[in-house]
Structure 1
Amino acid sequence: MRLVSITDLRAGMVVAKSTYMQDGRLLLGEDVELSDRLIEKVKNSSLGSVYIKDDRVEDFVINENIPEPLKRQAANALENSFRPMKTKKDNSQLVHLEMKPIENVLDELLDEVRGLDGLLELIANTYHYDLYVFSHSVNVALYSLMVGKEIKLTPKKLKRLGMSALLHDIGKMMAPVDILNKPGALTDEEYETIKKHAQNGYDILSQQMVFSPDVLRGVAEHHERLDGSGYPKGLTEDEIHLFGKIIAIADVYDAMTSHRVYRDPMLPQDVLEFLLAGATKLFDPELVKAFNRSVAIYPKGVTVQLSTGEVGVVIENHYNFPLRPKVLVIENASHVSLDQPKVCDLVEREHLTTFIVGCESMGMKSKESLAK
């Protein structure tokens, strides 16, 4: 099987893995043959990609290291707990948040991360704001937990980091949806409104009287930057809490590699390049390296285009070399299927001049390709 972007779905393709809506309803069952009507249904669902059977990679099985049902459960727990915030007008209005479901799902996410032997592999999907904010928060939590695990935080600190990351965007529940989903550039006034979400989140959670100071600071400081250019307080370097520094990296990576209503996603390697370039100025360099060691930039099963023009499927990732996965090439540069697919391991000497320029499964292209 391989992961195919919804823009590349064609009638006659067969679903390799059941696909679900964010609320848990079945969208496409395994072994269903796609029709034009079903493809249109998928496009209207806001999902970004579907696992499709492909004889060229029939022996390749994808096992998700974080179960999709658990991610949906976590997103739904956040949505249900945050629902009272939708009627909140300002920070003077006290709203009780039901935290037990979030605590329970965080424990499950922690168990998965602690038991994970290898890199975290997450597939970004397309969601409108009402779903995106919760799915994004779960992804940010998972990325943050992987970094916390990599730098060997204590179990208690790791759990508090996870809680802070899950709640980092709760302040956005007070921002107008039309601004959050605006398809074009924000005005200066709109941007100032959005920037309030970090402080609003801190204020909301402080009222609950149940969160430790480091959880609150992670929420308040995830948009602070080392050089003082961030918000809401313009903190610098050691003034920024560790949780804020970790969540900042996870937040930027997930946001920039995700489909949004106002832009296409960036190629993961370009986002990683942005993080590395911003190390010491914007982001903590040691934490960026820890992120780099913990996360699979190209998850197994995604369809990628190589600089040679060939198309293949990622079948293996290498620790410490996230941009150099092992790829099973299935099409030549003319997009003609190979009679015999071939393995191209990008860490091997003979392939060191070959690199990934597009990720068709998620509608991603490199910044060079986008500029053409």
Structure 2
Amino acid sequence: MRLVSVNQLQAGMRLGKKIYNDEGLILLAEGAELTTPIINRLAKMDIGYIYIEDALTDDVIISGMLQDETRNQALKVIRNQFQDMTGASTITKGFYHLDKKFSKIMDYILDDMSSQVDPMIMLLDMHTADNYLYVHSLNVCLYTLVLGIAHGYSKNDLKVIGLGSLLHDIGKTQIPVKIVQKPGMLSDEEFRHMQAHTEIGYRILKEEPNIPLLAAHCALQHHERIDGSGYPRGLTGPQIHEYAKWLGVADSYDAMTSNRIYKKAMLPHQAVEALYVGSGTLYEQKQLELFRDRVAIYPLGLTVKLSTGESGVVVKIDPSTPHRPIVRVLTGAEGETVTPFEYDLSKALSVVISDVADQGEPIQQ
């Protein structure tokens, strides 16, 4: 299976991994043949990368972080609850059913993740960019839980930080849709409206009798930064709860690696580099170091260029050395086709990934 840019797709290729819409429903199933109209449609829906079937990498299996049933149930709960709350006077009305549905789905998510050995932050299932809020909420939850597990939090702590991350953007249900979904830069006034989602989310969640107060503080503080440049209160390092700091890293990473109406997604290694620019100012260095060690910066199926001049596909990732994957070489230094062979970069220390292949180039199949 190969991960390729939509710009590289050619009619006759077959889809390697499902594509979902924002409601968690399958838009295209595995094995679907990609025709020119379908490719054009994918491009118009702002889907940047997809997995395709490929004879040279047919042994590369891309597994999800959640079982399909858990994932679909989670998106359904998020969508239904957020849609019910959009435009409603939730702060005065109160939504006391949140605790039951979200708490239950969090148990399912934790059960799925606890069954994995050394869970990693992987490039998740492909979605359309419509109603980004639902998918973003789930992605950030999963990323934050991976970090929490690696940090060594107890199951009770993980449930709290999981609920906080799943509901961190609930305040956006009270922001005008035209602002939340604006396909471009916000004006100063619109940005002030958008910033209010943190305090609104806090006020909503703190009234829920069975939602932990720390989960409400996650919603309040996830845009605070350790140098005091964040919002809504301009808190500095020690004043920001540790949970909110983890959540801030995960939230920023998913925003960078997701397709939006107004921007294309970064690849994971680009997003990690961007996060590191804020090391010690926006984010805690130790948290970024753990994040770096738990994220697959070169996703399975990605075509990369090596320092040898050769090109190949990432076919295996060792959780202990995620930045040094196994690469199956398909193209020689002069661009010629070669009999496939593999470099284990955790052992071939003189070979490094020098670049990600041009996502506009035709791919060899």
Shorter chain as denominator, the TM-score bin is 0.7 to 0.9
Question: Which residues in structure 2 correspond to 1:165-314 (within 5 Å)?
Answer: 165-306=165-306, 310-314=310-314
Letter in 2 for 1:343: E
Name the structure 2 match of 1:344: 343
Identity across the alignment (%): 36
Quick one: distance in 1 between partners of 2:206 and 2:87? 18
User: Structure 1 residues 129 and 191 mapped into 2: Cα distance closer, same or farther (>3 Å)?
Assistant: farther
1:309 Cα deviation (Å)? 6.3
Name the structure 1 match of 2:363: none
Question: Does the CA-based 8 Å contact 1:313-1:327 persist in structure 2?
Answer: yes
Question: Does the CA-based 8 Å contact 1:124-1:259 persist in structure 2?
Answer: no
User: Structure 1 residues 359 and 67 mapped into 2: Cα distance closer, same or farther (>3 Å)?
Assistant: farther
Name the structure 2 match of 1:315: 315
Name the structure 2 match of 1:164: 164
Corresponding residue SS for 1:278 = coil
Quick one: distance in 1 between partners of 2:107 and 2:266? 31
Letter in 2 for 1:293: D
Question: Which residues in structure 2 correspond to 1:26-41 (within 5 Å)?
Answer: 26-41=26-41
1:83 Cα deviation (Å)? 1.8
CA RMSD of aligned residues (A): 2.6
User: Structure 1 residues 296 and 37 mapped into 2: Cα distance closer, same or farther (>3 Å)?
Assistant: same
User: Structure 1 residues 251 and 106 mapped into 2: Cα distance closer, same or farther (>3 Å)?
Assistant: same
1:215 Cα deviation (Å)? 1.1
Question: Does the CA-based 8 Å contact 2:57-2:315 persist in structure 1?
Answer: no
Letter in 1 for 2:278: G
Quick one: distance in 2 between partners of 1:129 and 1:30? 21
Deviations 1:206-256 (A, max 9, x none): 222322221111111111111111111111111111111110010011111
Quick one: distance in 2 between partners of 1:359 and 1:226? 36
Deviations 1:93-118 (A, max 9, x none): 54454443322221121112222213
Letter in 2 for 1:262: Y
Name the structure 1 match of 2:124: 123
Corresponding residue SS for 2:323 = strand
Which is further off, 240-249 or 201-210? 201-210
1:136 Cα deviation (Å)? 0.8
Please, which runs of 5 or more residues in structure 2 have no aligned partner?
361-365
Q: TM-score, normalised by structure 1?
A: 0.86
Letter in 1 for 2:355: I
User: Structure 1 residues 46 and 278 mapped into 2: Cα distance closer, same or farther (>3 Å)?
Assistant: closer
Corresponding residue SS for 1:12 = coil
Quick one: distance in 1 between partners of 2:332 and 2:89? 57
Corresponding residue SS for 2:277 = helix
Corresponding residue SS for 2:290 = helix
Letter in 2 for 1:176: P
1:281 Cα deviation (Å)? 1.8
Quick one: distance in 2 between partners of 1:6 and 1:189? 35
Quick one: distance in 2 between partners of 1:156 and 1:50? 36
1:166 Cα deviation (Å)? 0.1
Corresponding residue SS for 1:350 = coil
1:343 Cα deviation (Å)? 1.9
Which is further off, 251-260 or 32-41? 32-41
Matched length: 358
